[in-house]
Amino acid sequence: MTIDFSNFSITDISPETDFEIKVLAFLEEWLSDSKTVKVQTSGSTGTPKIFEVEKERMRHSANMTCDILGLKEGDSALLCLPVEYISGKMMVVRAIERKLKLVVKTPSSKPITDLIESIDFCAMSPLQVENSLDKIHLIKNLIIGGAAVSESLKNKIAQKLNNSKTQSHIFETYGMSETLSHIALKEIYPSAKDYFRALNGVEISLDERNCLQISAPQLNPELIKTNDLVEINEVKESDDDKRHFKFLGRIDNVINSAGLKIYPEELEKLVKKEISNEAVFLGVKDELLGQKLILVIEGLKSDNVKKQLGKIIYPTKNHQPKEIIFIELFPRISNGKIDRKTLEKLVKKDKG
């Protein structure tokens, strides 16, 4: 199903699949007299919940994204994310606001297997991109969200696109339901950036814990305090420099081993440069160290993987895992993110 919002009438839509019916239901909600719509959170940082969002704030978010990507009336967009969540809803709102041609595909782990024509804009999860590498050259502007983009996936994207004549631009996003999708983008391709850049209208700062604070009055009237430890670009040559930040990890995940604070997400980036398996660093209670650093690898035990891990150069000796554990399949929440808390319980159970 394709909806051309430059010449749109809801009566012309004839949904055929369950997902198309859900898209139509959201459109009816959006076009209703209500000033708000209901949004469901993914539950990645807590218990899933449903809350109401003002349509006007969603319009602001949509235009912020369309402006930075240069999207204009008549451009095409592809929807392959669930419309229950803010990610899918915002794709529809962007198409409405900028009068795009929206191609609707049922969300799956392989959403664009039958794509043959180029698309100007699309949003996907890392898993969807992983399974779409042979087609991503057809997407001119691709944003990836819902979970961090691994170093392994970044390398695969670069390898695929370097061998094509594409003019694609690929970005990793930073955001949450409370910010109505992303508030910052980090370019992955054609150049790989280290820092996210906040969108226009978004101000960032650090709280007393060195966690990110977000002020975006057009998106949320409140100052949003996150649990994300970040490093803000300290080069203050212009106001724009203050808009760049590097994600270090969630404060909930910080491991304190022998008095050293370890950011597991940073170490996981190192590991994923060497192996394709998912990898998670955990801190397990230890009488001597406080927390013992353990590396958990998804997959069957492999001497080859262990050999690759031996090539990794860690920041210090204390950043090296004291133990490596293999678990065949990691627990995940509904949006595909690794469920660290459940994984930690499995590791503790495995260790007796």
* Nearest alpha carbon to residue 110 among 124, 121, 89, 92: 124
**Given 3.40.50.12780, 3.40.50.300, 3.40.50.1820, 3.30.930.10, which CATH number is that of 2-199+234-244?**
3.40.50.12780
> What is the chain's mean pLDDT, rounded?
88
Could you tell me which residue, 64 or 233, shows the higher pLDDT? 64
Residue 82 clears pLDDT 60, i.e. is over it: yes
Task: Please give the Cα distance from 11 to 348 (Å, whole number).
Answer: 56
* Nearest alpha carbon to residue 344 among 276, 264, 288: 264
Q: Please, where in the chain does CATH 3.30.300.30 lie?
A: 254-350
For residue 334, the model assigns a pLDDT of 65
- Percentage of the chain beyond pLDDT 70 is 93
What 3-state DSSP class applies to 23?
helix
**Residue 53 belongs to what H/E stretch?**
strand 50-54
Altogether, the residues listed in the chain come to a count of 352
Rounded alpha-carbon distances, angstroms, from residue 243 to 2, 67, 138: 36, 17, 30
For residue 172, the model assigns a pLDDT of 96
**Given 3.40.30.10, 3.90.550.10, 2.130.10.30, 3.30.300.30, which CATH number is that of 254-350?**
3.30.300.30
For residue 326, the model assigns a pLDDT of 93
For residue 3, the model assigns a pLDDT of 92
Mean pLDDT computed over 3-9: 89
For residue 179, the model assigns a pLDDT of 86
What 3-state DSSP class applies to 292?
strand
* Nearest alpha carbon to residue 280 among 290, 288, 289, 270: 270
Residue 22 clears pLDDT 90, i.e. is over it: yes
Per-residue pLDDT of 106-133, as tens digits, reads 999 899 999 999 999 999 998 899 999 9
Per-residue pLDDT of 303-342, as tens digits, reads 899 999 988 999 998 899 999 999 999 988 766 678 888 9
Q: 159: buried, middle or exposed (CB in 10 Å: 19+, 13-18, 0-12)? A: exposed
Per-residue pLDDT of 271-289, as tens digits, reads 988 888 889 999 988 888 8
Q: Which stretch, 130-144, 176-190, 274-288, has highest mean pLDDT?
A: 130-144
- Structure pTM? 0.82
Per-residue pLDDT of 154-172, as tens digits, reads 989 998 998 887 889 999 9
Q: Please, where in the chain does CATH 3.40.50.12780 lie?
A: 2-199+234-244
Strand partners, 187: 171
For residue 309, the model assigns a pLDDT of 92
Provide the b/e sequence for 319-335 (b: ≥16 CB within 10 Å): bebeeebebeebeebeb
